[in-house]
Amino acid sequence: MSLNDTKSSQNDEITNPMPAEDRREFLLNNELYSDVTFRVGPHRQPIYGHKIILMCSSKYFFNLFKNANVNTITLKTVERNDFLEILRYVYCEKINLTAENVRAIYRQSKIMSFEMVVKAVVAFLIQNINPDNVLEKMVENCFYQACELLTFILAGT
């Protein structure tokens, strides 16, 4: 099953006990027991989440959910796959960062206060610095404003 699909078809296949990693992966974008639905992208495709996981991972979501009964959130400017990657890191501490999605994931993670995802993005950027692209990365850091990245660059890759 791809990350883009919900896992409602797997709900009949639960085996006990599941390892912790499998439990977290099982919850990702799973409509079963979800209590918030994100309508993402221009087509408002649903992505399912769990408020408690989001509140424990983000000040933005903590403040959003603590005093309001919000069950549906529309995210018009976020690509579905980028948001799923953010949630995958929040739920499972796994992420697939590429040159194509890194900026969007970084930007959205900053907006939503997912600091752990921001740190994963900075680590990805640091891992991809080499003598051939160091100036390009330094210019890009104007977008990221990541002290760790600038420190790494200035220390002489």
How high is the mean pLDDT of the chain?
82
Q: Does the pLDDT value for residue 152 go beyond 70? A: no
- What pTM did the predictor assign? 0.78
Dihedral pair phi/psi, residue 145, rounded to 5°: 50, 45
d(Cα 90, Cα 67) in Å, to the nearest integer? 22
Closest C-alpha to 44, from 78, 68, 71, 70: 78
Closest C-alpha to 114, from 36, 55, 64: 55
Question: For the chain, how many helices (H) and strands (E)?
Answer: 8, 3
Q: If DSSP codes are grouped into helix, strand and coil, which group holds residue 114?
A: coil
For the stretch 126-140, pLDDT in tens is: 887 766 665 565 556
Q: Hey, what are 80's tokens? A: 């579905």
For the stretch 4-20, pLDDT in tens is: 555 544 455 666 787 77
Walk me through the domains of the chain, giving residue ranges and CATH numbers: 8-154 (3.30.710.10)
% the chain with pLDDT above 70: 73
pLDDT of residue 99: 84
For the stretch 17-43, pLDDT in tens is: 877 778 888 999 999 889 999 999 999
DSSP-H helix ranges across 4-113: 20-27, 51-57, 59-66, 80-92, 102-111
Q: Does the pLDDT value for residue 81 go beyond 80? A: yes
Q: Stretch 106-131: mean pLDDT, rounded?
A: 88
